[in-house]
């Protein structure tokens, strides 16, 4: 189960127009649950990207509001 803070981090990954800097603990949790992946940028930095599982989770959360 994700905390509200981790769900907010997942929303940021999906909605942010530019790469976001997440709390490392939140990012580790999202990676562990296979909700995001890290994409290498040409600059050499890794950028979190939403995976299909993460998108499904956000859709489920939005339906239950």
Name the CATH topology of 4-63: Arc Repressor Mutant, subunit A (1.10.10)
pTM for this model (two decimals): 0.86
Could you read off the pLDDT of 27-56 as tens digits, one per residue?
Answer: 999 999 999 999 988 888 888 999 999 999
DSSP sequence for the chain? ---HHHHHHHHHHHH-SS-----HHHHHHHHHTTSEEEEE-TTS-EEEEE-HHHHHHHHHHHHT-
pLDDT in the model for residue 62: 87
Contact by Cβ (8 Å): 39, 49:
yes
So where are the chain's domains? 4-63
């Amino acid at each position: 189960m994700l905390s509200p803070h981790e769900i907010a981090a997942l929303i940021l990954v999906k909605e942010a127009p530019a790469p976001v800097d997440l709390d490392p603990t939140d990012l580790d949790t999202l990676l562990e649950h296979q909700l995001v992946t890290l994409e290498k940028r040409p600059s050499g930095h890794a950028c979190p990207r939403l995976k299909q599982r993460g998108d499904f989770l956000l859709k489920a959360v939005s339906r239950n509001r």
